[in-house]
């Protein structure tokens, strides 16, 4: 469909079908999945699932439906991430509200959830706090890690932190909508608000992109402070790890997501602060992605 047809449609001069609307995919040159994007945007505008669109491609859009679709389409054409336009993103088979105060949850971060569940089975018991495992998610964003863990492990007592009040408000709404296991949200800078020896598990997907990384251009719509860290992307790892040794209980574990080329550097920081039992994990693309270790007092 040409630019002129889109312009005419916005002026209510021409009605179009689902099939014709989907042809606008050719204009989404920045997208890796233009047809899927159009299906999602059109489905939202019509309030219909993708299966309905495929079965009713001759359906003629009403004026309001067309206006809704083309408004969203224009945002996508300008490079706004599809998750921000839709206002949601799936993670761990759950749907999370997202906006431009939060990072968009990525599939590779699910490796953190898998690793934790493997090491803390449902019958895991502790000798304190009535058997509940004390967990903290640092830099929670929209809350995908904390809330996904809460949905899987009812005996986890989870705290989630972020520096941004607006981000925490979004995470709290997600928790109320998604999980019956209550997560406590705290606005603070990493572990500064907590007492020593408080947690069995510290988990974080912190900022780890270098300020001059060429990939930042494709991430320009996401919150800069949630992406970029100093010290060549390692600054927040050092802040977290240096505090974690005091905040973990005996035998406690820390698990971190990192960049594909940062594993050795993060391992070095862990060793520097006395962590041991280090395990390194790859994501589904075969990239180094997650590292975990046990506190200095672990047996």
Q: Give the pLDDT mean for 24-31.
A: 94
Q: Which pLDDT tens digit goes with each residue over 231-289? A: 999 999 999 999 999 999 999 999 999 999 999 999 999 999 999 999 999 999 999 99
pTM, full prediction:
0.88
Q: Are the C-beta atoms of 247 and 273 separated by less than 8 Å?
A: no
Measure the CA–CA gap between 294 and 141, rounded to whole angstroms.
Answer: 25
Closest Cα to residue 115, out of 291, 258, 296, 242?
Answer: 291
pLDDT for 144 equals 97
Q: Which pLDDT tens digit goes with each residue over 51-96? A: 999 999 999 999 999 999 999 999 999 999 999 999 999 999 999 9
pLDDT for 241 equals 97
Which domains, ranges and CATH numbers included, belong to the chain?
Answer: 3-86 (1.10.8.10), 100-294 (3.40.50.150)
Using CB atoms within 10 Å of the CB of residue 297, give its burial: 0 to 12 exposed, 13 to 18 middle, 19+ buried.
middle
Q: What is the token pair recorded at 264? A: 């050795």
Q: Is 212 helix (H, G, I), strand (E, B) or coil?
A: coil
Measure the CA–CA gap between 104 and 259, rounded to whole angstroms.
Answer: 16
């Amino acid at each position: 469909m040409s630019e002129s047809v889109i312009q005419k449609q916005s002026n209510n001069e021409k009605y179009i079908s689902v099939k014709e609307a989907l042809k606008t995919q050719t204009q989404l040159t920045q997208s890796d999945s233009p047809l899927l994007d159009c299906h999602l945007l059109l489905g939202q505008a019509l309030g219909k699932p993708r299966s309905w669109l495929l079965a009713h491609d001759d359906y003629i859009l009403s004026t309001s439906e067309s206006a809704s679709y083309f408004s969203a389409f224009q945002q996508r054409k300008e490079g706004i991430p599809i998750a921000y336009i839709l206002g949601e993103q799936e993670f761990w088979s759950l749907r999370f509200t997202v906006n431009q105060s939060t990072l968009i949850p990525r599939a590779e971060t699910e490796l953190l959830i898998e690793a934790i569940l493997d090491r803390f089975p449902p019958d895991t018991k502790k000798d304190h706090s009535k058997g509940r495992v004390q967990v903290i998610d640092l830099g929670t964003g929209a809350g995908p890690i904390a809330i996904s863990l809460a949905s899987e492990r009812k005996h986890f007592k989870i705290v989630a932190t972020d520096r941004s009040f607006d981000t925490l408000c979004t995470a709290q709404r997600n928790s109320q909508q998604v999980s019956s296991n209550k997560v406590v949200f705290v606005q603070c800078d990493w572990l500064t608000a907590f007492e020593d020896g408080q947690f069995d598990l510290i988990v974080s997907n912190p900022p780890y992109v270098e300020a001059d990384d060429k990939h930042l251009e494709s991430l320009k719509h996401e919150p800069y402070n949630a992406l970029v860290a100093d010290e060549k992307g390692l600054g927040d790892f050092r802040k977290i790890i240096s505090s974690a040794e005091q905040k973990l209980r005996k035998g406690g574990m820390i698990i971190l997501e990192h960049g594909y080329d940062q594993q050795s550097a993060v391992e070095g920081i862990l060793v520097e602060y006395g962590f041991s039992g280090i395990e390194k994990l790859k994501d589904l693309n075969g990239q180094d992605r997650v590292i975990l270790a046990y506190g200095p007092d672990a047996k």
